[in-house]
Structure 1
């Protein structure tokens, strides 16, 4: 490991963040011979260890959700590794190529130098100088709880990032707001623990976990869906509900409801102990079904066109009957009467790049880039959703995005080397005697 910086020292490229994005970036920079340093404020892959619930597993199978250079050891390729195994995997991967990661160092501010190239970086252990900076801190930075949250001291309210297990919550029913992958999995976890659960379901996609003996990640791959460069119009606020928990099962909200969960529409407001919900539950469930069936159609078409000998699965198209909470939706809930003593907000995150001090950011503080290369030369972003395509925030996708950015850094360094060599040649010629 590099020595701890307590005074100013200069490096070529600083990578901020030692999770999957930072490790992928380091591997590609190492392969190109680019001197660099990775700073991580906690431990390698810390978010996997301590910012997830206890029962979390990867949403994709082990053969798919990994980097190309290392397989998961001792795990069936079709299984879903737990969060600790994923964190161990990234630690092992970093050791594999001796990644120059310095843990326990926080980057506090990045300032562009006014009188010379590069940046001055203030860290918790001193000052660094770098020619370029890669922000590899990922999308899960500031948990978002919407302003509609009730100001009720009798109700425990936490974000999904704080949830670990049912035992941390007071006895009683739980309202889970948000039915993407996190909300759906946490609601299921709570129900399995014996809690009464109300799940607020908004617009969502719910792909089959597997179909015709192939995981949905495989289907998205052969159908070219991972390479989509932008969301389809109108889907910007649509979440995806998928899970690898308990061996991997398709998320089916009707099945959860038939097991005792009460589904409600999008959460609208709280007032005087009452929660109100939008009358959109049936529409949201139907739209999720349409998305699910459309992938089955695309998969069947692909199998037929390519002559794939895959077992047919007609039972996958059988939709359970609507539970009462869908046919007679709850649009108003007296929280106390329903025994709801906890609310979990599975409502996503906001990025926070305040430490970049405006470098590479737009007027709203959001990254301004093209495929991770900022409009501000020398600044790069990695690990964000849709950085270059649909796969960008996933393990395998961030690896490929990192390669693109590392290649760009390598090209920029060649231009600078050419310029420096040319200046040296010119200086040599000017010193020759007449």
Structure 2
């Protein structure tokens, strides 16, 4: 290891590689430290049957885009890993795998000291690009589950055959929870699915994927100050070639849909009786999205096929599903609970005053109050697209420009000879 380097990038996933591309274009010296392998989270924290949520043409990083023969298809997990790894090789990213960073602190002379095991490396800049999905969210009440119940987070779920025999309770109505339920149903498992609020979109509408429409209308280009409180990402999946998610269909196929989780008391799962209300909200957000796209097409005069393909489903009177306020794990023969409630951050290893009371970085488009310390690839860091593979490049370019600007401005308080 060198004693010092101009920039250290922590994390060898899509964010770390994206900023490496832009730093290399500016001929800025840098090293990427990766605790495992390139795209490690995609390799070891995604289940076997996972599909990319967006069509293949949306697999893009700076200077690198999908070039296969199925642009409208949906890639499996291993295809995404290959795409990212190929990108790292193509740009000759200076990745050092197997380097686990355990600390970052600022020295008296303004440099940043990166600790990796027993080794310390000084840097003028440090970019923390460890990803938006770090620590799975598990509710406190999970500790009340009986010892015999297997608990797995979405990041540790691999396949149905790895779970104990018996029923499975999946908690969480995001894309991960929904696709895991699909996976379990295909294997004939008895599935209970506890849902909270969600926002539905069609997979395709009027001749285009919903991802195309979201980009075209500028929806994914909205900055954080434009996002309303409680805004949720859309419930979409690349499963089965990218079908439209319909939770009622899961019920018809055998999944027992439940309201949102309230608490756990020994063998009793306590539930809110909000299942039908949640489903109705999901349908209403679906209608609103269709109306928004219809209005946009009309206003812009876009040549698109006529709409109406979902009118019959949305106008049909949906039968209300039975609701219960508790579920007995023994009666339901449930042996496993899968937590798919999203993720939080773990930056406790950063010994700089850049985290708020919740442990989230205080930053403006990745720039912190500590000169030279940056974050990249966080969930909604600057725009809705910031945390996605296909959206991280814009923020990476911005930070590379910022780093270049610091090099030209030694008056920033950091020694200009630290490179």
TM-score for both structures, normalised by structure 2: 0.94
Q: Are residues 1:9 and 2:3 paired? A: yes
Shift of 1:342: 0.9
Aligned residue for 1:171? Answer: 165
1:223-280 CA distance string (max 9 Å, x none): 11011112643325x4531100110011110111111111111011122411121111
1:72-92 CA distance string (max 9 Å, x none): 343411111111111111111
Contact 2:61–2:392 (8 Å) recurs in 1: no
State how far apart, in whole Å, the 2-side matches of 1:388 and 1:422 are: 29
**More displaced 10-residue stretch of structure 1: 368-377 or 225-234:** 225-234
Contact 1:75–1:81 (8 Å) recurs in 2: no
Shift of 1:418: 11
State how far apart, in whole Å, the 1-side matches of 2:227 and 2:110 are: 40
State how far apart, in whole Å, the 2-side matches of 1:419 and 1:198 are: 57
Shift of 1:137: 0.3
Q: Are residues 1:206 and 2:200 paired? A: yes
Number of residue-to-residue matches in the alignment = 414
Helix, strand or coil at the partner of 1:344: strand
Aligned residue for 1:148? Answer: 141
Q: Are residues 1:136 and 2:129 paired? A: yes
TM-score for both structures, normalised by structure 1: 0.91
Structure 1 residue runs of 5 or longer lacking an equivalent are 424-434
Structure 2 residue runs of 5 or longer lacking an equivalent are none
State how far apart, in whole Å, the 1-side matches of 2:250 and 2:174 are: 14
Flag the 1:336–1:242 CA change in 2: closer, same or farther, 3 A. same
**More displaced 10-residue stretch of structure 1: 352-361 or 210-219:** 352-361
Helix, strand or coil at the partner of 1:365: coil
State how far apart, in whole Å, the 2-side matches of 1:204 and 1:278 are: 15
Contact 1:257–1:323 (8 Å) recurs in 2: no
Contact 1:49–1:84 (8 Å) recurs in 2: yes
Aligned residue for 1:265? Answer: 259
What RMSD, in angstroms, separates the aligned Cα atoms of the two structures?
A: 2.1
1:24-64 CA distance string (max 9 Å, x none): 01001111111111000000001111110101111111111
Aligned residue for 1:432? Answer: none
**More displaced 10-residue stretch of structure 1: 198-207 or 304-313:** 304-313
Aligned residue for 1:234? Answer: 229
Greater Rg over alpha carbons, structure: 1
Helix, strand or coil at the partner of 1:175: strand
Contact 1:179–1:239 (8 Å) recurs in 2: no
**More displaced 10-residue stretch of structure 1: 147-156 or 66-75:** 66-75
Aligned residue for 1:350? Answer: 344
Contact 2:294–2:307 (8 Å) recurs in 1: no
Aligned residue for 1:284? Answer: 278
1:152-172 CA distance string (max 9 Å, x none): 122111111110111011111
